[in-house]
Amino acid sequence: MSKDYYSILGVSKTATQDEVKKAYRKLAIQWHPDKNPGNKQAEEKFKEINEAYEILKDEQKRAAYDRYGDNAFQNDGFGKGQEGFSRDFEFEERFSNFSNIFEEMFGGGFSDKRQTRNQSQPGSDIRYDLSISLEDAYRGKKLNISFSTLTKCESCGGTGSEGNKKPAPCPTCGGRGNVRYNQGFITIERPCSTCGGSGTVLSDPCKKCSGSGRLKKVKNLEIGIPAGVATGSKIRLIGEGEAGFKGAPAGNLYVFINVFQHKIFARKENDLYCTAPISMVKAALGGEIEIPDLDGKNCSVKIPSGTQSESRLKIKGKGMPVINSSRRGDIVVEIFVETPVGLSKKQKEILENFANEKDEKTNSPKSFEFFRKLKDFFS
């Protein structure tokens, strides 16, 4: 008689893959041999549930089952002689999913179980976003930060055991960390649900942390910000992340830096840019201006006579430090020549006299050349 896999999982023939998966998980937990030790009926029921799920979770196998029933998987499991059931498909399906079958049975491969069964669960890494000023990024600074995370339980020293008592072998798996049961001709081995695969259980769990070896609390740290950091820089603090389970290694703390925008300077790599407006007279005659640096000092910048807007003047070695180096970037001053406004009558007369006396070719070579070309073009 053909088995009704849909009835075994308690779903309809039109059930979606998510509904099939959900029904399987519920029944697998209910009839799992670990929860029903020594119960042969539960063991057989669990095998039957797994058999049904193996077929219905795979769309091609499910289609074959809907057409031929479980006969599609008889005769060595591949429906020999069944009309319309391709041998090419059977061979490809058998070996393409073979690794998946073993992955589900053995948890990802053939690694030595002695190496994996006693491995504890390490703590997770933590990300902390820190915003600082450009001055702090320039000088470097030590800062205090605080965040909530799982920390080592001080009562049990992180072991999870009251009074630091040694854990006892798991009674379910006998200390192996895995349990085995047969499914047809295959022996399936899974991590023990009682001990989580560690092979041991706590005879007297810590009352403060309930045996986990860790508690949630606010952690305070002092961190050093190196000079020269930029937005996107990342600082790793090994072992300052979430505490591990039952004394396992802690995770790491990753501090991601964001540097606030500055009122005067814009940063491009290790150079600092600022715009300095100067008068038309200073641009024409030349002179000096003072630009503050991030050390709080004033730097003198010489303005050559005839300086134009968008000219760039550098102050060497006053930019951002290069991390782990003695080198520094520059301050780049972008000049903006300001046209005078609100002129008095006398000032206007002076400019008019200048305009009447100036030599366009000599005093304004760029405008002279532009209008010459414009004239030639239209003529």
Q: Which domains does the chain show, CATH number per domain?
A: 5-116 (1.10.287.110), 126-181+190-259 (2.60.260.20), 262-341 (2.60.260.20), 345-379 (no CATH)
Whole-number pLDDT of residue 169: 80
Whole-number pLDDT of residue 222: 92
Whole-number pLDDT of residue 70: 66
Model confidence over 309-365: pLDDT tens digits? 889 999 999 999 998 888 999 999 999 998 888 889 998 888 888 878 777 767 777
Model confidence over 29-40: pLDDT tens digits? 888 887 888 888
Predicted TM-score (pTM) above 0.75? no
Average pLDDT, the chain: 79
Whole-number pLDDT of residue 115: 38
Whole-number pLDDT of residue 120: 60
Whole-number pLDDT of residue 346: 92
Checking if the pLDDT of 296 tops 50, the result is yes
Model confidence over 30-84: pLDDT tens digits? 888 878 888 888 888 888 999 889 888 888 788 878 876 766 565 444 443 333 3
4 vs 100, which has greater pLDDT? 4
The model's confidence at residue 183, banded by pLDDT at 50, 70 and 90, is low
Q: Average pLDDT in the 81-88 region?
A: 36
Whole-number pLDDT of residue 74: 55
Q: Average pLDDT in the 87-99 region?
A: 36
Checking if the pLDDT of 93 tops 50, the result is no
Whole-number pLDDT of residue 331: 92
Per the CB < 8 A criterion, the answer to whether 78 and 95 are in contact is: no
Checking if the pLDDT of 89 tops 50, the result is no
Identify the burial level of 206 via C-beta atoms within 10 angstroms of its C-beta, where 0-12 means exposed, 13-18 middle and 19 or more buried. Answer: buried
Checking if the pLDDT of 142 tops 70, the result is yes
Return the percentage of the chain with pLDDT > 90, whole number: 26
Checking if the pLDDT of 255 tops 90, the result is yes
Q: Average pLDDT in the 186-203 region?
A: 74
